[in-house]
Amino acid sequence: MRTVPDAIPAFKRQSLDKDILIETPAYDLIELFFFAYRDFVSDPDRILDEYGFGRAHHRVLHFVSRQPGLTIAELLDILRITKQSLNRVLKELIEKDFIESRMGTADRRQRLLHATPQGRDLALKLAKLQTRRIMRALADAEPEAKEAISRYLLCLIDSDDRTHVQQLVFGPDKT
Amino acid sequence: MRTVPDAIPAFKRQSLDKDILIETPAYDLIELFFFAYRDFVSDPDRILDEYGFGRAHHRVLHFVSRQPGLTIAELLDILRITKQSLNRVLKELIEKDFIESRMGTADRRQRLLHATPQGRDLALKLAKLQTRRIMRALADAEPEAKEAISRYLLCLIDSDDRTHVQQLVFGPDKT
DNA sequence: GAGATATGTCAACAAGGCTGACATAAAATT
DNA sequence: AATTTTATGTCAGCCTTGTTGACATATCTC
């Protein structure tokens, strides 16, 4: 939220440039983002294949493993897919004993999702694989780059969702 | 595959710490990347819908518009899909007059792809939309953040592809 | 002229999205 | 207590976008 003094002409010119900048497509970042994400998600694919799972299974398993007791509704909100789409992959993960679904205690309509030991193992294995790529890339950067990148990625997220994601990622405590 | 000297205790401890760093999943970056990409690609969807196009059409149109005269083979290499998948969407883009395919001059087997004026307009409209999000996020960051983020995204890409992507994104001149 | 290369095309299939309709159990409201 | 709302499950069918395998054609290279 840094603000910039307005009065100084040199700065005014900068804000004119800024409008041009907004209208000039940032092809570099658009394309780098595309290629980086392409390779980032490709790592787990080979392993998932061995289990007969796809990327959809990965996403479900990841978030359940990260947040034991997650409900269906919360998961739908995270993934932004329909319950029918979710149910297809979730059913398979439960059948193959990677996730289990317990009845809610406070609200017995809810299903509280938990990864089984087998599920946690796989989730961890995949997370480590992606972490390796992330840390390798980070190794070539300044020490403060990680913070900058986290903040940047967070700002890319829809502003209505940002607080929610922040709680999800960093925990509900830290503001 | 790092091997570690076994004899020296001091090294053992240090490499233990390092392994823990490598082995501790970077959940924050993994998840932020997921959410950021989710929202980043969602912007164009509404507009594409109006034209009866999907994300696959967007990717093709984007790269053709950016690199007039792109060949089928180069496009396949960028997108990493099969020629059958490409052809399905490319055919529609040509039929609806967003892309045109000219016979190669040096090699008449090749098809040199060009966006039509209509195609360029749409590609630009979508790129601007994504740029808006990118620049909004960048506005909250340090001035040197953009460079750091570009470099980071580049390092996330498979190392065999990195030079190729670099040429594609920044132009073949700049090394 | 023979073989390699760039592209196109047909057919079938799989993953993972979607919509719409309907069912059930439990909670919340009146 | 009866009614409505909520959380979830499920059936059926459709769309987009990826895959494989086989085969066709034109053109370039040797």
| Two tokens, residue B126 | 């979508």
Give the model's pLDDT for residue A29: 96
Burial track A141-169 (b if 16+ CB lie within 10 A, e otherwise): beeebbebbbebbbbbbbeebeeebbebb
B19 vs A: CB within 8 A: no
Q: CA angle at residue B63 from B62 to B66, to 5 degrees?
A: 90
Residues 62-121/B with CB within 7 Å of nucleic chain D are 80-82, 84-85, 88-89, 107-109
Classify residue A71 by its DSSP letter.
E
Q: Nearest CA to CA, how far is A166 from chain B (Å)?
A: 9
Q: Residues B39-66: pLDDT tens digits?
A: 999 999 999 999 999 999 999 999 999 9
Asked if B169 lies within 8 A of A141 by C-beta distance, the reply is: no
Give the model's pLDDT for residue B4: 46
Q: Residues A73-116: pLDDT tens digits?
A: 999 999 999 999 999 999 999 999 999 999 999 999 999 999 99
pLDDT value at B119 more than 50? yes
Classify residue A107 by its DSSP letter.
S
CA distances to B16, B78, B110, B123, B124 from B117, rounded to whole Å, are 59, 23, 22, 10, 10
Give the model's pLDDT for residue B10: 45
Domain-wise residue ranges, chain B = 42-140, 142-175
Asked if A25 lies within 8 A of B145 by C-beta distance, the reply is: no
pLDDT value at B3 more than 90? no
Question: Which range has the worst mean pLDDT, A91-95, A125-129, B1-5, B18-22?
Answer: B1-5
Give the model's pLDDT for residue B61: 98
Which residues have CB under 8 Å from B61's CB, separation 6+?
A: B53, B93, B98, B99, B115, B119, B122, B123, B126
* CB distance A30 to B124 below 8 Å: no
- Which CATH architecture is the domain A41-140 placed in? Orthogonal Bundle (1.10)
Q: How far is the CA of A102 from the C1' of D4 (A)?
A: 26
Of the partner residues B80, B131, B154, the one whose CB lies closest to the CB of residue A32: B154
pLDDT value at B173 more than 80? no
d(CA A33, CA A29): 6
Q: Provide the 10 A C-beta neighbour count for residue B137.
A: 21
Which residues have CB under 8 Å from B32's CB, separation 6+?
A: A150, A153, A154, A157, A165, A169
| Two tokens, residue A17 | 């440039």
pLDDT value at B32 more than 60? yes
Asked if A124 lies within 8 A of B25 by C-beta distance, the reply is: yes
Task: Report the DSSP beta bridge partners of residue B114.
Answer: B100
Give the model's pLDDT for residue A3: 44
Residues of B in contact with A30 (CB under 8 A): 62, 127, 130-131, 134
d(CA B174, CA B150): 15
CA distances to A39, A52, B63, B79, B114 from A35, rounded to whole Å, are 6, 25, 12, 9, 22
d(CA B87, CA A37): 23
Average pLDDT in chain B: 89
Give the model's pLDDT for residue A175: 61
Of the partner residues B39, B148, B156, the one whose CB lies closest to the CB of residue A39: B156
pLDDT value at A170 more than 90? yes
Out of 3.40.50.720, 1.20.140.10, 3.40.50.300, 1.10.10.10, select the CATH number for domain B42-140.
1.10.10.10
Give the model's pLDDT for residue A16: 53
* CA distance from start to end of chain A: 16
d(CA A153, CA B153): 11
Asked if A132 lies within 8 A of B157 by C-beta distance, the reply is: no
Position B92, amino acid: E
DSSP 3-state of A114: strand
Q: How confident is the model at residue B142 (pLDDT cuts 50, 70, 90)?
A: confident
Q: Residues A124-151: pLDDT tens digits?
A: 999 999 999 999 999 988 888 899 999 9
Q: Residues A21-55: pLDDT tens digits?
A: 557 899 999 999 999 999 999 999 999 999 999 99
Sheet of B111-115, strands arranged across = B70-71, B111-115, B99-103
Give the model's pLDDT for residue A6: 46
Give the model's pLDDT for residue A15: 54
A25 vs B: CB within 8 A: yes
Q: What is the distance of C-alpha A92 from the center of its chain? A: 22
Tell me the residue length of chain A: 175
* CB distance B124 to A25 below 8 Å: yes
